[in-house]
Structure 1
Amino acid sequence: MTEPGDAPLTEGDYRSLAEFRHALRRFLAFSERAARDHGLTPAQHQLLLAVRGHPGPTNPSMSELAELLQLRLHSVGELADRAVDNGLVTRDVDPDDGRRSLLVLTAEGTARLDALSLIHRRELRRFRAELGSLLDELGDEHDPGV
Structure 2
Amino acid sequence: MRDHRIGDIVGIVLDAPENATAVNELKERAREAGFKAGYNQCIAHVNPFFQSKFTNERSGFHGVDIEARYVAVVNAYNNLSPSAIEDIQKCLEAEDYVDRLRLLYERDEKDETAGGAKEGAGTSGTKED
Q: Give the alignment's TM-score, normalised by structure 2.
A: 0.35
> Normalised by the size of structure 1, how large is the TM-score?
0.32
